[in-house]
Structure 1
Amino acid sequence: MKTFELAGSPRTDLGKKATKALRKESSIPAVLYGGEESKDAIHFTVTNSDVRKLIYTPEIFLVNLTIDGKEYNAILKDIQFHPVSDEILHLDFLHVFENKPIVIDVPVVLDGLAEGVKAGGKLSLDLRKLKVRALYKDVPEKVHINIEHLALGKSIQVGELSFEGLELLNASNSVVCRVQLTRAARGLAAKSGK
Structure 2
Amino acid sequence: MKTYTLKAEARTDFGKKAAKAIRVENKIPVVLNGGEVFALPFTGTLKPGEKLVEIGNGKALITTDLLVNADDVRKLVYTPDVFAIELDVNGEKRNAVLREIQFHPVKDTILHIDFLEVFNNKPVVVEVPVKLEGHAEGVKAGGKLTLSMKKLKVKAIYTEIPERVVVNIDNLGLGKTLQVGDLHYEGLELVNAKNAVVCAVQLTRAARGAAAKA
Partner in structure 1 of residue 111 of structure 2: 89
Partner in structure 2 of residue 26 of structure 1: 26
**SS of equivalent residue, structure 2 residue 97:** strand
Residue 156 of structure 2 is aligned to residue 117 of structure 1: no
Partner in structure 1 of residue 78 of structure 2: 56
For the aligned residue pairs, the C-alpha RMSD in angstroms reads 1.0
2:177 alignment partner, one of 147, 152, 155? 155
**SS of equivalent residue, structure 1 residue 84:** coil
Segments of structure 1 that go 5 or more residues without pairing to the other structure are none
- TM-score of the two chains, using structure 1 as the length reference: 0.96
Which residue identity is paired with 1:133?
A: K
- Structure 1 runs of 4+ aligned residues shifted over 4 Å read none
Residue 120 of structure 2 is aligned to residue 98 of structure 1: yes
Deviation at 1:35, TM superposition (A): 1.5
2:200 alignment partner, one of 156, 162, 178? 178
1:131 alignment partner, one of 149, 153, 156? 153
Partner in structure 2 of residue 145 of structure 1: 167
**SS of equivalent residue, structure 1 residue 151:** coil
Deviation at 1:82, TM superposition (A): 1.1
2:66 alignment partner, one of 35, 40, 44? 44
**SS of equivalent residue, structure 2 residue 74:** helix
Partner in structure 1 of residue 45 of structure 2: none
Residue 106 of structure 2 is aligned to residue 72 of structure 1: no
**SS of equivalent residue, structure 2 residue 139:** helix
Deviation at 1:132, TM superposition (A): 1.4
Partner in structure 2 of residue 4 of structure 1: 4
1:169 alignment partner, one of 186, 191, 203? 191
Deviation at 1:36, TM superposition (A): 2.0
Q: Deviations over 1:152-180 (max 9, x none)?
A: 00000011111111111100110000000
Deviation at 1:142, TM superposition (A): 0.8
Which residue identity is paired with 2:14?
A: L
Q: For residues 35 and 154 of structure 2, what CA distance do their matches in structure 1 show?
A: 21
**SS of equivalent residue, structure 2 residue 146:** strand
Which residue identity is paired with 2:111?
A: L
Deviation at 1:88, TM superposition (A): 0.5
Q: Deviations over 1:57-114 (max 9, x none)?
A: 1111111101122110111111111111111110011111000000101111111010
Length, aligned pairs only: 192
**SS of equivalent residue, structure 2 residue 84:** strand
- TM-score of the two chains, using structure 2 as the length reference: 0.87
Partner in structure 2 of residue 35 of structure 1: 35
